[in-house]
Structure 1
């Protein structure tokens, strides 16, 4: 059994989709990050970075007890190797999958994440930040569209690279970007969206996004801001007690 410590963000969706695709038994442990659930000491023992998602594998191959794993790239690679699925076996294709996985966790995710932050959460008047990250988002989507213009998937076959990238494109409208501007991306997006495992995750009531979290422009209380971006988050990371 695998515990998925979860909130339905783009990063959370990556792991939920992966677990559905590889058909491992798992259970979802939901967190309210606005209320600060991710800052509790018991979660620090799983992920000292206090970010979601994370998993705990209660039956790892080494048989040495429960294994916590954080960072989505590491989790996807771990689950691919554990299941023997969704990572190419051919060396060249495997390296392609790992390159695009690295591209997502170092570029696509952070840049879109910053764009979404400035567009949705930052105080009004952040025009430079929004423009900066929107330009970078368009550049990265151009890279993705170029790759997919002659490949059905990022590594030639459906893999953890596609699972890593796909959820991050669900909210590009927050930056006034339409996926339809990028035909190869739109074709790829639609194909993955139709996969049964993806449909199960997207339609699951367990993974619904609370209505309060989906406004185009978020208005946080001081306590919510502190839990997500401020002193409470800093204090949790600095605390020596797991």
Structure 2
């Protein structure tokens, strides 16, 4: 499910928005001020980075424009996250400055939750259309070539089965997102699906043996206990 981060000091509003968006298939994490929001973006949890940031313009510790400026300056994938600004201020200049700072959209308060949902979907859709998936995915020394269907680590070929390649590619394409076993299997639909969830665990163990420096202490494919797996974004 798409992950959202809402940086908003109004806890009641954040709860209302979170409940509404969760009904539409989103997962919302709430940060009460700019410092807490930036901390989540600089050091993501096991769930990884969000897919989009909802950013209030008026925060208790720093304004949303400053948060947006710092976000865009981060030396990581977080710097490219789409941002929708929310504000009770009606000054058109704030909207102009926000967009110039790198915000993708701007919604004045009070707003209808349905409009917020529509804008979130539109921003995510535009981002997806503007960034077609690369045929070769690189994560530090790990390289996954979709066309050649090969996996190399530091230039050295690693042997995995065709089915394991599909599983690895499905995770890598969704780097930073926690996927359940069902979601992983759904992502490789069209292949002959395995009969039991635990077969995914066996395949993941073999993929780790192929690509991890220490398969018993993996750094790339992480287990999220009780949920599934996440492909970590960090570089080697």
Higher RCO by CA contacts (8 Å cutoff, separation 6 or greater): 1
Larger Rg: 2
Between Structure 1 and Structure 2, the one with more strand by share is 2
Between Structure 1 and Structure 2, the one with more helix by share is 1
TM norm. shorter chain > 0.5: no
TM-score, length of structure 1 as denominator length: 0.29
TM-score, length of structure 2 as denominator length: 0.29
